């Protein structure tokens, strides 16, 4: 089957975390024998900023990691009929222009034979619903929502007649333990400061605890405010700027622990959705201490990660991890097994194919698609 992905960026993950997951899905679909073609705008802001930060070599490195994937940059001259020719599955991520989304949906509504799915991995459904409401999804066969809470919003508001819960997962070809790398730091954190969505939480659950523990800490990420840089510097934390996702496993391998700090909109309004870094860190075999979030979908069993209700508890739990190597190793091992057994991109690729089977009715599905729903 020819599978086509339209995304804001595939070669660049600069402030573009959904690229991590889509890369893994593309890889797994290719490994299953499907033809995969990815379209990304040549002048997208993620690619532009990545080139500004580190030149074009980093983007070429990513393309080299996916030799079987046909990655195409496009501009205003894109011929959609040619691009979609022969497709059996088309996935359009929500960070695409409304005009492109509408144009692809219109072709499907007029009888194009492919299964067409809209992929949402963001919190705009609760923080900027007007932006999503303007998308014309009438021609789409369904929505892939990265959490059950988000799926329910699409159905409740009538944005889609059919939606599926399709969680993100770890690309375990890239995210894996690297035991040959020496652990030189106590804590590593990889993430973006962003628009202040979690500034208070980052200060409470990351900056102040490592300061109190005098923990040797590294932080990677982009879009850090001047206030964030000052707080990091005052805490004695080493700030390393943008870290391309394909180098993250090596960064995790240098540290004894990491911290999960979900963005405020997810923790408050979209329960059950962790950041993708949680999957990736577990896959790399590093123990995690998480700020509060509600795992209402039972993604992770007890002891797969550690929990902290507030900054003081984060400090105590981090101290325990750093001082008890056996406990830290056991926690990391449980998390790694959880990822390998249920949260890899291979698992999600198989679920995706089951969803396509259900939509097209081409052959009986080997297992039912998870959490499918429709509005009468």
Domain of 135, CATH number, reads 3.40.50.2000
pLDDT band at 127 (very low <50, low <70, confident <90, very high): confident
Cβ neighbours of residue 203 under 8 Å, at least 6 residues apart? 231
Using CA atoms, how far residue 165 sits from 57, 134, 151, 285, 297, in Å, is 35, 22, 6, 26, 11
pLDDT band at 367 (very low <50, low <70, confident <90, very high): very low
Query: Does the residue 179 lie in any domain?
Result: no
Q: What is the mean pLDDT of residues 60-79?
A: 96
Q: What is the mean pLDDT of the chain?
A: 93
pLDDT value at residue 172 = 98
**Domain housing 230:** 185-342
Which has the higher per-residue pLDDT, 52 or 266? 52
pLDDT value at residue 368 = 45
| pLDDT tens, position by position, 230-255 | 999 999 999 999 999 999 999 999 99
Q: Say yes or no: 195 and 337 in one domain.
A: yes
Q: Say yes or no: 282 and 351 in one domain.
A: no
Query: Does the residue 176 lie in any domain?
Result: no
| pLDDT tens, position by position, 202-222 | 999 999 999 999 999 999 999
| pLDDT tens, position by position, 314-365 | 999 999 999 999 999 999 999 999 999 999 999 999 999 999 999 988 433 4
Query: Does the residue 226 lie in any domain?
Result: yes
| pLDDT tens, position by position, 288-322 | 999 999 999 999 999 999 999 999 999 999 999 99
3-state secondary structure of 374: strand
Q: Say yes or no: 214 and 324 in one domain.
A: yes
Q: Say yes or no: 105 and 198 in one domain.
A: no
Number of domains, the chain: 2
Token pair listed for 219:
């932080």
Q: Say yes or no: 127 and 221 in one domain.
A: no
Q: Say yes or no: 17 and 106 in one domain.
A: yes
Q: Say yes or no: 165 and 25 in one domain.
A: yes
pLDDT band at 264 (very low <50, low <70, confident <90, very high): confident
Q: Say yes or no: 280 and 338 in one domain.
A: yes
Burial class (CB in 10 A: 0-12, 13-18, 19+), 20: buried
Q: What is the mean pLDDT of residues 46-52?
A: 96
pLDDT band at 265 (very low <50, low <70, confident <90, very high): confident
Query: Does the residue 177 lie in any domain?
Result: no
Q: Say yes or no: 8 and 153 in one domain.
A: yes
Q: Say yes or no: 157 and 216 in one domain.
A: no
Query: Does the residue 175 lie in any domain?
Result: no
Query: Does the residue 40 lie in any domain?
Result: yes
Q: Say yes or no: 98 and 196 in one domain.
A: no
Pairwise CA distance, residues 275 & 293, whole Å: 10
Using CA atoms, how far residue 63 sits from 16, 198, 362, in Å, is 16, 32, 33
* pTM of the model as a whole: 0.93
Which has the higher per-residue pLDDT, 367 or 336? 336
pLDDT of residue 366 exceeding 90, the answer is no
pLDDT band at 134 (very low <50, low <70, confident <90, very high): confident
pLDDT value at residue 199 = 87
Query: Does the residue 294 lie in any domain?
Result: yes
Q: Say yes or no: 226 and 252 in one domain.
A: yes
Which has the higher per-residue pLDDT, 268 or 343? 343
Pairwise CA distance, residues 284 & 280, whole Å: 6
CA-nearest of 42, 59, 41 to 50 is 59
């Amino acid at each position: 089957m020819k599978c086509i992905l339209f995304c804001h960026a595939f070669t660049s993950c600069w402030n573009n975390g959904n690229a991590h997951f889509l890369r893994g899905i593309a890889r797994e679909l290719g490994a299953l024998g499907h033809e995969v073609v990815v379209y990304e705008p040549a002048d997208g802001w993620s690619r532009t900023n990545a080139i500004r930060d580190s030149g074009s070599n980093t983007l070429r490195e990513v393309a080299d990691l996916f030799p079987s994937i046909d990655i195409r940059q496009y501009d205003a001259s894109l011929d959609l009929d040619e691009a979609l020719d022969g497709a059996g599955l088309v996935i359009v991520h929500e960070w695409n222009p409304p005009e492109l989304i509408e144009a692809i949906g219109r072709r499907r509504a007029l009888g194009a034979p492919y299964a067409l799915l809209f992929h949402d991995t963001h919190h705009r459904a609760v923080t900027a619903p007007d932006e999503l409401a303007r998308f014309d999804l009438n021609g789409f066969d369904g929505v892939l929502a990265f959490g059950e809470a988000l799926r329910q919003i699409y159905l409740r508001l009538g944005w889609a007649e059919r939606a599926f819960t399709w969680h993100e997962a770890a690309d375990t070809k890239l995210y894996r333990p690297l035991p040959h790398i020496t652990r030189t730091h106590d804590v590593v954190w990889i993430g973006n400061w962003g628009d202040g969505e979690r500034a208070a939480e980052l200060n409470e659950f990351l900056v102040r605890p490592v300061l109190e523990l005098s923990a040797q800490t590294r932080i990677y990420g982009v879009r850090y405010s001047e206030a964030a840089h000052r707080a990091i510097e005052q805490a004695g934390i080493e700030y390393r700027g943008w870290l391309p996702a394909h180098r993250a496993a090596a960064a995790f391998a240098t540290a004894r622990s990491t911290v999960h700090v979900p963005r405020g909109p997810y923790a408050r309004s979209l329960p059950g959705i962790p950041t993708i870094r949680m999957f990736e860190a577990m896959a790399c075999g590093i123990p995690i201490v998480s700020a509060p979030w509600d795992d209402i979908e039972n993604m992770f069993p007890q002891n797969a990660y550690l929990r902290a209700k507030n900054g003081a508890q984060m400090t105590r739990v981090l101290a325990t991890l750093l001082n008890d190597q056996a406990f830290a190793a056991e926690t990391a091992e449980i998390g790694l097994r959880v990822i390998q057994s249920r949260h890899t991109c291979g698992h999600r690729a198989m679920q995706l194919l089951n969803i396509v089977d259900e939509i097209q009715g081409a052959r009986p599905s080997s297992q039912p698609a998870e959490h499918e729903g429709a509005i009468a």
